[in-house]
Amino acid sequence: MERGLALEGFNPDSNCQPAQAFRILVSESENEIPLHQHRKGQLILALHGGITCEVEPALWMVPTQHAVWIPGEMPHSNRATANARLCFLFIEPGAVEMPAQCCTLRISPLVRELIVHLTEKNEGDLSQPETQRLVQVLFDELPRQAVEQLHLPMSRHPKIRFIADQLVQHPQERLTLEQWASQLAMSERNLARLVVKETGLSFRRWRQQLQLIIALQLLIGGVSVQQIASELGYDSTNAFITMFKKALGNTPGRYLASLEP
């Protein structure tokens, strides 16, 4: 069942079916659902393009063939890339053992096809024995999906949000920690401590994780590796590839190829 990104008129908590799925088509421009929450857990699977979810205290990147799991009652907002194709799967609390915290999952071809097939079922089909068997297979497989660390720890602290906003808007910015501290009228040591306290990462590691999220968005959007390296302010393409491979275990080209269904 295909709907717009905002799922107009749909309340995922209006029935107690163990699982209900919808396929989402995004327009030619980015689309965003503001902060909201629901009783059911939600799995957002990216078939094409990607989606970024902000779930306090982190920003979660969902590239193609991955999904983000958002437990029930957890406030979140979603931003999808242009022309993305997504599946929203709503799961009744307690129906399947899923992580207690938000996480990014690498989705197997079997689970992907089960979810896609479920999107073709209307509400009346969900109570049919054959659909219930399909849902049970899906529930058997979901807990086995690999968790990947595609998220950026965030913070409500205004100075951390300021740096993050600036880096998102100007990803090529290569200011040092000392230069950021000067802009924020604080010492380099105090800023370093603040970043660790608020995000759990060093400034260098936190900035690199943000760049990785931006790189993935650009990569799945069709931007070349050379352009991405330039847009992120790397001195060379090789330096960017080295960072990417260290973080994700593959070069950008091989990683992108691995996402193909």
C-alpha distance from residue 218 to each of 29, 30, 80, 98, 141 (Å): 14, 13, 13, 30, 30
Using only the alpha carbons of the chain, give its radius of gyration.
Answer: 19
Over the stretch 48-61, which tens digit does the pLDDT of each residue have? 877 888 887 788 87
* In the predicted structure, residue 29 carries a pLDDT above the cut 60: no
How remote is the C-alpha of 68 from its chain's centroid?
5
Mean pLDDT for the chain overall:
86
pTM: 0.77
Among the listed residues 120, 205, 191, the one whose alpha carbon sits nearest the alpha carbon of residue 162: 191
Beta strand 41-48 pairing with 146-148: unpaired
Over the stretch 156-187, which tens digit does the pLDDT of each residue have? 899 998 998 888 888 888 899 999 999 999 99
CA separation for the pair 133, 64 (Å, rounded)? 27
Task: Report the number of secondary-structure helices (H) and strands (E) in the chain.
Answer: 9, 12
* % of the chain with per-residue pLDDT over 90: 44
CA separation for the pair 54, 76 (Å, rounded)? 6
CA separation for the pair 53, 102 (Å, rounded)? 10
Residue with more model confidence, 64 or 139: 139
> Domains (ranges, CATH) in the chain?
2-148 (2.60.120.280), 156-258 (1.10.10.60)
